[in-house]
Amino acid sequence: MKRITSFFTPLTIVCLLLFALHQLMVRVWHIHIEWLDNWLDPLVFMPVFLRGLAVEGWVWGDRKTLGATDVFSAVIYISLLVEGLFPLMSPRFTADWIDVLCYLLGGLAYLWAHGGSENDIIDHTE
């Protein structure tokens, strides 16, 4: 029987809580902190996105862990899409190289927390 490790690891919980708290600050309490408003979302996005990719891989039995190549490929893909293509398609988006740095830091945080750990291994044996 497959053992699937939960989506909710300490890193993803912290990232999701930070995101939710920031949304409350901005939308409910109308508190704006410029650097949080600009860069928190890209920073916490990558660990949550990567964990989702890992869980999706486990569900389909395709992979045991996400390695550095997978993580850096995802960082490059998201960076090109969000910071390259989206600003070309809509004036509502602005390319920001610091967002790319935040995606990279989020990817590194994922690798630090999950890269190759035994918690991310699926047991495919009965």
Query: For residue 43, which of 18, 24, 10 has the smallest C-alpha distance?
Result: 18
Tens of pLDDT along the chain (126 residues) come to 344 467 889 999 999 999 999 999 999 999 999 999 999 999 999 999 999 998 887 777 766 678 899 999 999 999 999 999 999 999 999 999 999 999 999 999 999 998 765 455 444 444
Look at residue 116 in the predicted model and tell me its pLDDT. 60
All structural domains of the chain with their residue ranges: 10-117
Look at residue 5 in the predicted model and tell me its pLDDT. 61
Look at residue 1 in the predicted model and tell me its pLDDT. 35
Look at residue 23 in the predicted model and tell me its pLDDT. 95
Predicted structure pTM score: 0.85
Look at residue 123 in the predicted model and tell me its pLDDT. 46
Look at residue 64 in the predicted model and tell me its pLDDT. 65
Query: For residue 9, which of 114, 107, 100, 95 has the smallest C-alpha distance?
Result: 114
Q: Which residues contact 99 (CB under 8 A, 6 or more apart)?
A: 39, 42, 79, 82, 83
Look at residue 126 in the predicted model and tell me its pLDDT. 40
Look at residue 44 in the predicted model and tell me its pLDDT. 98
